[in-house]
């Protein structure tokens, strides 16, 4: 299969030994000493500005706390070189961090990384898998707790941290209660990590299957959370299938409302649905702020019919997973299904694999598909 690519516009839609649990994100990270033993702490709140494509083509500038983002405490006790002393992640609720060392420090600062534990990261290039980093203001003669206040990601790097923060939304809905990993295919300590490559000097983006399996995003693409999560959705489907992926044909170009192929409509429709489900809406949003609704029926102007249309597949999935849908109000049973059964296309998912795990294909489920012009 060739690379799965996206472009702007309507085309191509698409640290240590302590276990810390923070609002659903569980990972091994280096822990600072207990506060009773800490003699030097730097605290604060990590935030980033970002252009909000979900708010429309004006893309207003928003300020967002950076949740579950990696930090490191660097410092020195005397006149030597600063070294890494501790590490952790910012709070999942408010972006707060508390970076402590057991002795007073002649100099200390916090280094922030564009990653979250070892579960996801944003790097500079495929051949330079180094996180983006920046340092806080440096403090001298640190004893006790010093509050750095609000620490803001530099404007040139904000899109990298937007990717890091947005992936929390998908992680929290991953429907894998058995471990902290992305899917039940892995167990704690052996989790796979999703890697995004963000290059502000290029324009296009794609999931690089079957080569690096990294997601590549260029320039302004991180302005859209839907775009970030759509590409992550391809990676998630590959993970759910145990690092296998359907053989996809006739997928370049592809459009939400037009015929492509059964395999293309299944993989692109699934990725569209992942993004919309994670964000709790029913549309796709481009990085320019334009959006496209998944609302459709047999009379929707300009829409082709059937399961070779990714928008028909994606909207069917969203309605099956809806709060009032037949699958129990969420996508959990589909996620569990996909860790046990491989579907080459939507027909196989619906007619073969759903019955195998007791998910309905009649009644409300069949009516949902028929409403989107799919009938088996």
Q: Which of 54, 72, 107, 231 is the catalytic position?
A: 231
DSSP class of residue 353? Answer: I
d(CA 338, CA 74): 43
Residues linked to residue 199 through DSSP beta bridges, in sequence order: 218
Look at the block and give the residue holding tokens 């702490």.
41
Query: Which one, of 88, 220, 234, 212, lies nearest residue 163 by Cα?
Result: 220
Backbone phi, then psi, for 47, in 5-degree steps?
Answer: -135, 165
Distance CA 318, CA 112 (A): 36
> Is 295 a residue of the active site?
no
Strand-strand pairing, 40-51 and 96-101: antiparallel
Classify residue 160 by burial, with Cβ atoms within 10 Å: 0-12, 13-18, 19+.
buried
Q: Is 367 strand, coil or helix?
A: helix
> What SS3 state is found at 216?
strand
Closest to 152 (Cα-Cα) out of 135, 166, 169, 138: 135
Tokens coding 231: 């590409």
CA atoms within 13 A on the CB side of 335: 24
Structure tokens at 82: 């600063």
Concatenated DSSP letters of 81-136: --EEEEEEE--TTT-EEEEEESS-EEEEEEEEESEETTTEEEEEETTEEEE-EEE-
Q: Provide CB contacts within 8 A for 236, sequence distance 6+.
A: 170, 174, 182, 183, 274
Angle of the 310-321 helix axis to the 364-371 helix axis, nearest 10 = 150
Active site residues: 231
């Amino acid at each position: 299969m060739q690379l799965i690519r996206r472009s702007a516009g309507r085309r191509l839609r698409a640290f240590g030994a302590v276990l810390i649990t923070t609002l659903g994100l569980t990972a091994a990270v280096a822990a600072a000493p207990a506060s009773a033993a800490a003699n030097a702490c730097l605290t604060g709140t990590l935030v980033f500005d970002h252009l909000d494509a979900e708010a429309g083509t004006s893309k207003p500038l928003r300020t967002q706390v950076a949740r579950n983002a990696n930090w490191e405490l660097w410092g020195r006790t005397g006149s030597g070189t600063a070294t890494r002393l501790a590490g952790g992640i910012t709070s999942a609720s408010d972006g707060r961090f508390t970076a402590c060392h057991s002795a007073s420090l002649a100099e200390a600062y916090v280094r922030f990384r564009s990653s979250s534990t070892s579960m996801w990261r944003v790097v500079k290039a495929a051949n330079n898998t180094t996180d983006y980093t920046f340092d806080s203001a440096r403090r001298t003669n640190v004893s006790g707790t010093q509050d750095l206040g609000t620490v803001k990601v530099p404007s040139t790097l904000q899109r990298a941290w937007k990717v890091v923060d947005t992936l929390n939304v998908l992680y929290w809905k991953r429907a894998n209660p058995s471990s902290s990993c992305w899917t039940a295919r892995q167990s704690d300590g052996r989790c796979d990590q999703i890697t995004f490559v963000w290059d502000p000097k290029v324009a296009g983006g794609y999931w690089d299957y079957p080569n690096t399996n990294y997601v590549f995003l260029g320039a302004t693409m991180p302005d859209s959370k839907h775009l970030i999560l759509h590409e992550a959705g391809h990676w998630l489907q590959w993970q759910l299938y145990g690092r296998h992926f359907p053989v996809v044909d006739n997928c370049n170009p592809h459009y939400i409302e037009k015929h492509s192929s059964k395999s293309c409509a299944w993989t692109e429709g699934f990725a569209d649905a992942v993004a919309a489900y994670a964000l709790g809406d029913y549309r796709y949003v481009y990085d320019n702020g334009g959006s496209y609704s998944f609302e459709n029926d047999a009379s929707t102007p300009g829409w082709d019919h059937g399961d070779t249309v990714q928008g028909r597949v994606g909207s069917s999935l969203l309605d099956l997973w809806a709060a009032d849908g037949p699958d129990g109000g969420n996508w959990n049973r589909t996620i569990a299904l996909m860790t046990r059964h491989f579907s080459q296309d939507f027909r196989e998912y619906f007619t073969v694999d759903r019955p195998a795990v007791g998910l309905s294909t009649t009644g409300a489920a069949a009516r949902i598909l028929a409403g989107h012009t799919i009938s088996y």
